[in-house]
Chains A and B, each alone.
Chain A
Amino acid sequence: MVNTKVTLSGITLDNPIIPASGTFGYGYEFAELYDINILGSFSFKGTTKEPRFGNPTPRIAECTGGMINSVGLQNPGIEKVIQEELPKMKKVFHKPVIANISGFSVEEYVYCCQKIDQEDQVGIIEVNVSCPNVHHGGMSFGTSPEVAAEVTRAVKAVTKKPVYIKLSPNVTDIASIAKTCEEAGADGISLINTLMGMRIDLKTGKPVIANKMGGFSGSAIFPVAVRMVYQVYEAVNLPIIGMGGVSSPEDVLEMMLAGATAVQVGAANLVEPYICKNIIEKLPEVMKKYGITDLNDIIGGAHK
């Protein structure tokens, strides 16, 4: 027998596999396919204060080893999420979930986190700081250590739940941003969000995506994610949820060796709807192959 249980801020997960926000909705589509209670947890669709339709379509583009999306945080808004989506989600998923929160001002983050703090099923709040800050010329909160810290402090002041800051990889020094979030009171770090990318259609000579640019994800970004998790692990003394291109049990182990305590699976869910189930089922066997009896023994193992 091997041990796949890991602990994030006092919450024990049966395994480290967590579908990433925006690739799993509120779980219902996948609950039709398999019992999603086998998951460690899942991070539900990014939620904002106001309802959002998101960006114009096309929002999706094919890439080698991945895809670009510019969905633009489509969601029904925090009130509807709490009133309608969470009660439905509770019927198909019975473990603590991760609430992914986005905002366009510090006040919006605070508003949403205050509301979501009241929800029993939410185990962790994952704060997405990759959104543009309307008060600072649209620059992403996550690209400035000071602003990321400001969001962290403001959110921590209004919730008792553990707060994980989900960092953008579109920065020059991700470790220093993680460090300032730690100093501002973050309980953990999630990384990486998507990399900014673009595709141009040769037939039209124009960008494929209506919004021109979007977030690049999929297996192609895995090495970038491993590198950044490794760097952040060196910089902070906080649990890390690693993500970016994870699509196999081997990727999970690699991400954990880099320093992740748990691992999110994103784009792969969209093309292989059973991917999380498959990873969970194969993980013990792959652990045995590498002589691993307890996953906790390998967290950050590459640094030793």
Chain B
Amino acid sequence: MKQSLFKIIKNEPLTSTVYRMILEGDTSAITRSGQFLNIKLDGLFLRRPISVCDYDDNTITILYKVVGKGTEGMSKLSPASILDILTGLGNGYDTTKSGNHPLLIGGGVGVPPMFRLAKDLIAEGKNPKVILGFNTKDETFYIEEFQHLGAEVLIATADGSIGTKGFVTDIVKELCDYTYFYTCGPEPMLKALSDCTTTSGQLSFEERMGCGFGACMGCSCETKYGNKRICKDGPVLEKEEIIW
């Protein structure tokens, strides 16, 4: 973990509620896809945890949905503003277990961490298949960006306005040639995926956090391998250890 200052390079809407922010600063504490940032915002006591979509030597890209005071405040920040951020939080995804044909399944605001994961898996010579779930066409984002990585991308929308009508699980149930799965999204989706997948996998969880670095025990959960802190021992848990 590292605490440092970042400069906002870009902060733009991708849909009516989802924004992309590009931050410039010290990214050296980030070691894996699936990790998150904890961002200090004016007028709020607790930092706001946001997953990392992508990063390089000096920039971080985050995609966030405006859901409350914190994210609303973020959406109004202009480029050149400075943010105090904790980086390198959480365990992130372990790509060594993926096999050659992993599935990457992102639902709504669970889509962003799949991007860097797909990039890493492709760089490792693997062939990930990406399944993205949204409510409706107007709420979709990053489909082209995933395609540009060279991954096969399948879309599910609840209303069928683009891709398969239904949920990501409706697509996953039809697939049988995958070696592993990685996912992030709302908990009911994670549960449904855990039930319908035929392989092991890694699932990223969300919880209200105090510190984000393992000190306060605010985000604990019970697993088959003992109590874990979502922020420090997670947010990524293995399918086999989860108690639903």
State the A residues within 8 Å of B (CB): 22-25, 29-30, 32-33, 45, 53-54, 57-67, 69, 71, 74, 208, 218-219, 267, 269-271, 273-274
For residue B212, which residue of chain A has the nearest CB? A270
List CB contacts (< 8 Å) of B199-244 with chain A: 207-211, 213-222, 227, 232
CB-CB under 8 A from A219, the residues of chain B are: 45
A59 near B45 (CB under 8 angstroms)? no
Please provide the chain B residues from 15 to 56 with a CB less than 8 Å away from any CB of chain A in the complex.
40, 44-47
Judge whether B216 and A71 touch: CB under 8 Å. yes
Known A23-B215, A29-B215, A269-B215; contact A57-B220, beta-carbon cutoff 8 A: yes
| Residues of chain B from 71 to 98 with CB closer than 8 A to chain A in the complex | 86
Cα distance, A257 to B131, chains bound together (Å): 61
**Bound-state Cα–Cα, A219 to B46, Å:** 12
Closest Cβ of chain A to B31, distance in Å, is: 14
Q: How many residues of B contact A (CB 8 A)?
A: 27
On chain B, the residues within 8 Å of A29 by CB distance are: 213-215, 232
> Would you give 6 A-B contacts (Cβ < 8 Å), ordered by A?
A58-B208, A60-B209, A60-B210, A62-B46, A71-B217, A74-B220
Q: Is there an interface contact between B217 and A74, defined as CB atoms closer than 8 Å?
A: yes
Decide if A60 touches B208 in the complex (CB within 8 Å).
yes
Asked if A57 and B208 make an inter-chain contact with CB atoms under 8 angstroms apart, the answer reads yes
A53-B220 in contact (CB<8A): yes
Knowing A32-B1, A273-B3, the reply to whether A57 touches B216 (Cβ < 8 A) is: no
Q: How far in angstroms is the closest Cβ of chain B from A231?
A: 26
Bound Cα distance A267, B220 (Å): 17
Q: 8 tightest A-B contacts by CB?
A: A270-B211, A60-B218, A58-B208, A74-B217, A60-B208, A60-B210, A71-B217, A29-B214
User: Helix, strand, loop or mixed for chain A's interface?
Assistant: loop
Task: Give B221's nearest chain A residue, CB to CB.
Answer: A57
* Interchain CB contact under 8 A, B210 and A270: yes
Residues of B within 8 A of A53 (CB): 220, 222, 227
Closest to B227 in A: A53
- CA of A25 to CA of B45, assembled, Å: 20
User: Which partner residue on chain A sits nearest B69 by CB separation?
Assistant: A62
A62 to B73 CA separation, bound complex (whole angstroms): 15
Complex CA gap A69/B215 in Å reads 13
Q: Which residues of A contact B208 (CB under 8 A)?
A: 57-61, 208
List, in ascending order, chain A residues with CB within 8 A of B86's CB.
Answer: 273
Taking CB atoms, residues of chain B closer than 8 Å to A25 are 214-215, 217
Knowing A57-B220, A58-B207, A273-B3 are in contact, say whether A63-B213 is a contact too (CB < 8 A). no
Q: Max chain A CB contacts within 10 Å: which of B69, B213, B215?
A: B215
Q: Which of A22, A62, A273 contacts B45 (CB 8 A)?
A: A62
Contact of A59 among B69, B218, B232 (CB under 8 A): B218
Given contacts A25-B215, A59-B208, 14 further A-B contacts (CB under 8 A): A45-B217, A57-B207, A60-B216, A61-B208, A62-B46, A62-B69, A63-B45, A208-B208, A269-B215, A270-B46, A270-B210, A270-B216, A273-B213, A274-B3
